[in-house]
């Protein structure tokens, strides 16, 4: 395999900095010790300027030598196959990691993102609030009983679930102490802090060039 490159925008407005999804891949590389570089594509013209690499005009995507892969979840699983720090190699542990990684995307983020979009567009008490509360309660119940989602240790499933749950509006949607403790614990990891600081810096540097 060649050089591992995480692709993101060259700039984003201040609001999403620290939350842009390239952070998931940066964080995973930091956790695993995999060497990586970050490169940019222009934010302006994003709807069309990289469709061959990300068909929805979004970021992040990853290149690993000749391998090109988009979707942050797919990128995380690609990295997890390279490092057992992100996913154990035994079949039971691996299955647990896969199921919770997909659950973060397809059972939680699938609800939280549309709920958040509706909230942002002025409909705080929107029709997804009940579904959202139910899902978060179900996660809370799980996290009351265990420290990590899979394999009794930190894995890429925790990285992704914590990233989905740490969005401020999601985090403050009701009181769920076990979830709050989990998000604090997982995002308190030095690798997260480094990845987040570097992302914010990446976009700040671009401010001067605009």
Q: Coil, strand, or helix at residue 113?
A: helix
Which CB atom, from 88 or from 162, has the smaller least distance to ligand GSH? 162
CB 57 → ligand GSH: shortest distance, Å?
5
Contact 6, 26 (CB under 8 A): yes
Residue with nearest beta carbon to ligand GSH: 58
Of 101, 111, 89, nearest in space to 161 by CA? 101
Binding of ligand GSH by 46 (CB under 6 A)? yes
Which CB atom, from 20 or from 86, has the smaller least distance to ligand GSH? 20
Site for ligand GSH in 166-195 (CB under 6 A): none
Site for ligand GSH in 73-132 (CB under 6 A): 73
Binding of ligand GSH by 18 (CB under 6 A)? no
CB 106 → ligand GSH: shortest distance, Å?
11
Site for ligand GSH in 59-78 (CB under 6 A): 59-60, 71-73
CB 121 → ligand GSH: shortest distance, Å?
15
Query: What gap in Å lies between CA 52 and CA 144, rounded to an integer?
Result: 43
The site that binds ligand GSH (CB under 6 A) totals a number of residues, namely 10
Binding of ligand GSH by 147 (CB under 6 A)? no
Binding of ligand GSH by 57 (CB under 6 A)? yes
Binding of ligand GSH by 10 (CB under 6 A)? no
Tell me which of 20, 80, 97, 143 binds ligand GSH, using CB under 6 A: 20
Q: Which residue has the tokens 């993101």?
A: 8
Contacts of 202 (CB under 8 A, 6+ apart): 8, 38, 40
> In the sheet where 67-70 sits, what is the strand order?
37-41, 4-9, 61-64, 67-70
Contact 32, 86 (CB under 8 A): yes
One-letter-per-residue 3-state SS of 116-170: HHHHHCCCCCCCCHHHHHHHHHHHHHHHHHCCCCCCCCCCHHHHHHHHHHCCHHH
End-to-end CA distance of the chain: 35
Tell me which of 10, 41, 53, 58 binds ligand GSH, using CB under 6 A: 58
Give the residues lining the site for ligand GSH (CB under 6 A).
20-21, 46, 57-60, 71-73
């Amino acid at each position: 395999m060649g050089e591992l490159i995480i692709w993101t925008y060259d700039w984003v407005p201040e609001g999403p900095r620290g939350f842009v999804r390239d952070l998931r891949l940066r964080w995973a590389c930091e956790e695993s010790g995999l060497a990586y570089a970050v490169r940019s594509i222009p934010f302006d013209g994003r709807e069309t300027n990289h469709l061959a690499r990300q068909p929805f005009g979004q970021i992040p995507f990853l290149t690993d030598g000749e391998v090109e892969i988009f979707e942050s979840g797919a990128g995380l699983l690609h990295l997890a196959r390279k490092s057992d720090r992100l996913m154990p190699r035994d079949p039971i542990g691996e299955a647990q990691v896969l199921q919770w990684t997909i659950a973060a995307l397809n059972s939680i983020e699938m609800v939280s993102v549309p709920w958040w979009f509706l909230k942002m567009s002025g409909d705080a008490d929107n029709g997804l609030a009940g579904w959202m509360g139910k899902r978060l309660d179900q996660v809370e119940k799980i996290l009351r009983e265990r420290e990590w989602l899979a394999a009794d240790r930190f894995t890429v499933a925790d990285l992704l679930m914590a990233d989905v749950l740490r969005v401020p509006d999601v985090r403050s949607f009701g009181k769920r102490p076990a979830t709050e403790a989990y998000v604090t614990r997982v995002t308190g990891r030095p690798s997260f802090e480094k990845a987040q600081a570097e992302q914010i810096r990446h976009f700040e540097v671009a401010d001067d060039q605009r």
